[in-house]
């Protein structure tokens, strides 16, 4: 039976080994298999696959039929190796735990959906060391472009970003010196605008209820901008409370409770983001504190959920989708890094809302 099978293979010109220009007995068809079935050379089949160069209609049709018949999937590792360039776009983000970065992702998707690029996503949990590790592991795939959040990276990461032969977009933040392209807004300015806005509304006793900020450069920049605005007006933060760990609605709620227990004189509390501000509102509802009249609440991001509240959250709208789309579009403009760096300010809007 074994002998018979062997004979059978040989009779058909098959060989049991895999070798160059021989038939291939694995179930994964290669370009050579497609070419053979279509009666063309590999390179012609390759041109059809990549939609590149002049191909006779009849030839193209034959190759396409062969592709369909075999269920051929191009091996991108081989293609990438041969052409020294992949179609990957590395996207390295701090978190996917709230809607902010998914919004950026959607923007990126929108920009590249009609191109050959594929996003490869990594999540750093706001840890620069993790960011470096992920970045290096992505670079091993020779991405055509890299999108990364913020302008602060480890020295090693920054060096690789600068030396690489790919485009780089640093998103969210523009307060700093980008490697290539920066798309985002000034978080310092946003914090400053928050302060001025609330002062103009008559608030005077400012509190801040945050999370541990070292890991979140942008929240930190907003905090500093806020303090600067207060100082310019001869005011200062009356009190602040920081809860260890990340940011969440629960933590916002607890933080406000602790803050008010110690400082009942506060008339407004700023939170690093909408999620936490929502928690603040929930605490007020629970404790029977009239929001805005007795205590103003202010967030950041302009999430839908804050605007769906019975009293829409007062906050700042960041344009996450636009940031993602713009970054990806800019990256697509040219494969090579130009001499000059590009900084794109997508700005922000104050949402007045009804909570401050």
Interface contacts to its own copies, rule CB under 8 A: 27-28, 71, 73-78, 80-81, 86, 96-99, 102, 105, 109, 118-123, 136-142, 159-160, 163, 165, 248-250, 252-253, 275, 278-279, 282, 285-286, 304-305, 307-310
Given the complex with DNA, which of 17 and 113 has the nearer CB atom? 17
Given the complex with its own copies, which of 213 and 256 has the nearer CB atom? 256
If one asks whether residue 32 binds DNA (CB under 7 A), the answer comes out as: yes
If one asks whether residue 47 binds DNA (CB under 7 A), the answer comes out as: yes
DSSP code for 234: T
If one asks whether residue 56 binds DNA (CB under 7 A), the answer comes out as: yes
Given the complex with its own copies, which of 122 and 347 has the nearer CB atom? 122
Q: Which long-range contacts (CB under 8 A, 24 or more apart) does 69-72 make?
A: 69/37, 70/29, 70/33, 70/34, 70/37, 71/29, 72/29, 72/30, 72/31, 72/33, 72/34
The answer to whether the CB of 275 falls within 8 A of the CB of 248 is: yes
The answer to whether the CB of 317 falls within 8 A of the CB of 349 is: yes
Strand order across the 88-93 sheet = 118-123, 88-93, 145-149, 167-173, 181-185, 342-345
Least CB distance to its own copies at residue 236 (A): 30
If one asks whether residue 13 binds DNA (CB under 7 A), the answer comes out as: no
The answer to whether the CB of 269 falls within 8 A of the CB of 297 is: yes
Given the complex with DNA, which of 26 and 113 has the nearer CB atom? 26
Which among its own copies, DNA, none contacts residue 285 (Cβ within 5 to 8 A by kind)? Answer: its own copies
Given the complex with DNA, which of 77 and 96 has the nearer CB atom? 77
Instruction: Give the H or E element holding residue 61.
Output: helix 57-70
Given the complex with DNA, which of 18 and 250 has the nearer CB atom? 18
CA atoms lying within 13 Å on the CB side of residue 334: 8
Least CB distance to its own copies at residue 100 (A): 11
If one asks whether residue 336 binds DNA (CB under 7 A), the answer comes out as: no
Q: Which of 174, 129, 165 is nearest to 146 (CA)?
A: 165
If one asks whether residue 159 binds DNA (CB under 7 A), the answer comes out as: no
Among 3, 4, 11, 58, binds DNA (CB under 7 A): 58
User: What does residue 200 show for φ and ψ, rounded to 5 degrees?
Assistant: -65, -20
If one asks whether residue 42 binds DNA (CB under 7 A), the answer comes out as: yes
Q: What is the CA radius of gyration of the chain?
A: 28
Contacting positions for DNA (CB under 7 A): 18-20, 24, 26, 28, 30-32, 40-44, 46-47, 49-50, 52-56, 58-60, 72, 74-75, 78-79, 81-84
């Amino acid at each position: 039976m074994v002998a018979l099978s062997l004979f059978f293979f040989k009779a058909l010109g098959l060989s049991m080994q895999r070798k160059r220009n021989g038939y291939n007995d694995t179930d994964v068809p290669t370009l050579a298999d497609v070419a053979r079935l279509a009666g063309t050379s590999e390179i012609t089949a390759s041109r059809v696959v990549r939609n590149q160069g002049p191909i006779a209609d009849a030839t193209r049709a034959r190759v396409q039929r062969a592709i369909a018949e075999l269920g051929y999937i191009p091996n991108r590792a081989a293609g990438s190796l041969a052409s020294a360039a992949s179609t990957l776009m590395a996207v390295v983000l701090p978190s996917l735990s709230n809607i902010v970065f998914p919004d950026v992702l959607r923007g990126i998707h929108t920009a590249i959906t009609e191109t050959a690029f594929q996003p490869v996503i990594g999540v750093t949990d706001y840890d620069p060391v993790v960011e470096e590790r992920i970045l290096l592991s992505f670079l091993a795939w020779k991405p055509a472009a890299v999108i990364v959040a913020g302008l602060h990276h480890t020295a090693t990461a920054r060096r690789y970003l600068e030396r690489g032969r790919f485009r780089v977009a640093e998103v969210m933040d523009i307060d700093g010196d980008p490697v290539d392209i920066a798309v985002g807004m000034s978080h310092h300015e946003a914090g400053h605008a928050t302060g001025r806005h609330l002062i103009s509304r008559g608030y005077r006793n400012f509190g801040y209820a945050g999370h541990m900020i070292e890991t979140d450069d942008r929240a930190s920049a907003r905090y500093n901008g806020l303090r600067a605005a207060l100082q310019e007006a001869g005011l200062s933060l009356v009190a602040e409370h920081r809860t260890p760990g990340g940011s969440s609605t629960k933590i916002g709620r607890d933080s406000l409770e602790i803050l008010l227990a110690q400082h009942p004189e506060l008339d407004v509390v700023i939170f690093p983001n909408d999620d936490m501000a929502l928690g603040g509102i929930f605490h007020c509802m629970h404790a029977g504190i009239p929001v805005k009249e007795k205590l103003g609440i202010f967030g950041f991001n302009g999430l839908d959920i804050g605007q769906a509240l019975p009293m829409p959250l007062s906050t700042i709208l960041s344009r996450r989708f636009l940031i993602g789309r713009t970054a990806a579009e800019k990256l697509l403009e040219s494969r090579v890094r130009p001499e000059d760096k590009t900084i794109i300010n997508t700005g922000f809007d104050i949402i007045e809302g009804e909570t401050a």
